Chains A and B, each alone.
Chain A
Amino acid sequence: MDLFFFVSCETSVLNVFHYYYSREIRIQMEEEFEFRQWDELLPDALGLIFRNLSLQELLTVVPRVCKSWEKAVKGPYCWQEIDIEEWSKNRCPENLDRMLRLLIPRSCGSLRKLCVSGLSDKSSFEFIANNAKSLQTLRLPKCELSDSVVEQVAGTFSNITFLDVSYCIKIGARALEAIGKHCKCLTGLRRTMHPLEVIDKLSQDDEALAIATTMPKLKQLEIAYMLVDTLSVSEVLQNCKQLELLDVRGCWNVNLDENFVKKFHKLKVVGPLVVDYYDKNGWDNCSDYSGSSGYIPWDFVAGDIDDDFDDDEVSDGYWEDEERLEDVEMWFYDDLNAVDAGYDWPQSP
């Protein structure tokens, strides 16, 4: 009788135990099933989600969530477009180099877009060149490389369609020629200057002429504040027959005749008068910005010139089948009284 009692106690205890144990298993299985559903998304959809996050989150938060995420965030889907322009401002060359060598290999040869500011190390530039055969958009504002370095390396960027060499004070016509000669697919060039950068130059007409002679396929050309005159810009218009946008704001020696411009049906010229405005037709801008309009460039000198002349990057288009233009960055500086530039710019997928 005792034995029977004992056994039945055991059984009921076991039953209870079994119930809770299997409930645990069930919960665990449910969690695992949920998680496996996320696994199904790996790696490409997760990569798409991660692409919208900041660099800091991608390096220090996402990889700590779980091992699958750590693996996904190292993979190519997050890094086909690498935009470290913000991060790279005022970083020392060693760290900049370190970051490039960390991130570029993650794209596994599928790097389409790279944005980095203040590049000064020749070996960093060579590293980019050697690992970015599929690069289409390259933004290197404020880079300190010279004409000869660009000449050496231009051949490896043959697939580039958009290049930004704004505020690069050490390059000139030679570099532009080399780029034009090797980058046969180039349809967009941004070479905005800062008024103070060009203050000791006599002229940059040779650069405009280099563009005119070597970049016939240009659709978009931004040369705000370059020291160019009507003649050299006219050369550009005559030779770059596919031009749709010409930004010559701040180019005070450029006085294009309206009738002359009208001959180019697709062409829209902006400037030399500098006005912040939003064009609903082609390029889309964040309409939250309510900066002053019609400012005079002397404001630069008066105000804080630290690194305030940087552009706020608007949502960046990329070449779709319709061949949309890269969105023009319609302002050059952070107005001191403007809304804090903490916009969440939607990034292009």
Chain B
Amino acid sequence: MASSSKTEQKKMLILKSSEEEEFEIEESIAVQSGTIKNMVEDDFTLIPLPNVDTETLIKIIKYMKKHGEKTKSNEKDIEEFDKEFVKKSFTELKELVLAANYLHITSLIDLLCQAFADRIKNKSVKAIREIFGIPNDFTPEEEAEVYEQHKWAHEEGKEHIDHSAY
């Protein structure tokens, strides 16, 4: 029966990194993470995240906060943010995608995967291995065989000219 409007108490959560550092965040923002959402539904307010280190968690919180305030008018702004967000070192991106995967933040996973794809595009096999730190477990013969298998798909080029129509 109070006529004055109360300021709504926003429900806060605490996220704890693997290094035991704690961060307060609004629940409405944190539930962009499917994993956190599930825990909230099980009545957790302190959310331990043993798979996410502090540095990565800070970045993820920054991302969620920005995307939490998404409206129709600030789409461009968020696009810019995303563009800048992925301008990170390869190692940082890797930590982020592992964490985003663990936390089930779909939009962030998509953003990061696109960023990775951009770094793979038009690169040689060797360059990709270096970038990702992946050891080559193919013998030269095996690798050649893999290449031969699908060479046909891109060798022919436009060999079938349709003269029938026009």
Contact = CB atoms under 8 A, between A and B. Distances in A.
Do these two chains really belong together in a complex? yes
Interface stretch (A48-56, A129-137, A254-262): A48-56
A62 B150 CA distance: 12
B154 interface: yes
B74 to A, nearest CB: 14
Contact of B117 (A40, A49, A98): A49
A346 B118 CA distance: 11
Interface residues of A, number: 47
A99 to B, nearest CB: 6
A65 B153 contact: no
Contacts of A57: 120-122
A56 B117 contact: no
Interface in B73-105: 94, 97-98, 101
Interface stretch (A31-39, A107-115, A209-217, A241-249): A31-39
Contacts of B143: 64
B153 A87 contact: yes
A66 B136 contact: yes
Contacts of A99: 153
B113 A49 contact: yes
Contacts of A102: 150
Contact of A66 (B114, B129, B150): B129
B110 A65 contact: no
Interface residues of B, number: 43
Interface stretch (A89-97, A181-189, A291-299): A89-97
A59 interface: yes
A56 B153 contact: yes
Contacts of B152: 95, 98
B156 A38 contact: no
A118 B159 CA distance: 13
Contacts of B116: 49
Interface string B100-144: 010000000110011011101111110011001111111000010
A60 B136 contact: no
Nearest to B94: A37
A118 B161 CA distance: 11
A35 B133 contact: yes
Contacts of A54: 121
A198 interface: no
Nearest to A169: B165
B109 A48 contact: yes
Contacts of B166: 196, 305
A206 interface: no
27 contacts: A34-B133, A35-B134, A37-B98, A45-B97, A49-B113, A49-B120, A51-B113, A52-B114, A52-B118, A57-B121, A60-B150, A61-B128, A62-B120, A65-B125, A65-B129, A66-B134, A67-B137, A69-B134, A90-B158, A91-B156, A95-B152, A95-B156, A98-B152, A99-B153, A169-B165, A305-B166, A346-B114
Interface of A: 31-32, 34-35, 37-38, 40-41, 45, 48-57, 59-67, 69-70, 87, 89-93, 95, 98-99, 102, 118, 169, 196-197, 305, 346, 349
Q: Report the 7 A-B pairs with minimum CB-CB distance, sorted nearest first.
A: A52-B117, A59-B150, A90-B158, A48-B113, A92-B160, A49-B113, A49-B116
Interface of B: 94, 97-98, 101, 109-110, 113-114, 116-118, 120-125, 128-129, 132-138, 143, 146-147, 149-154, 156, 158-162, 165-166
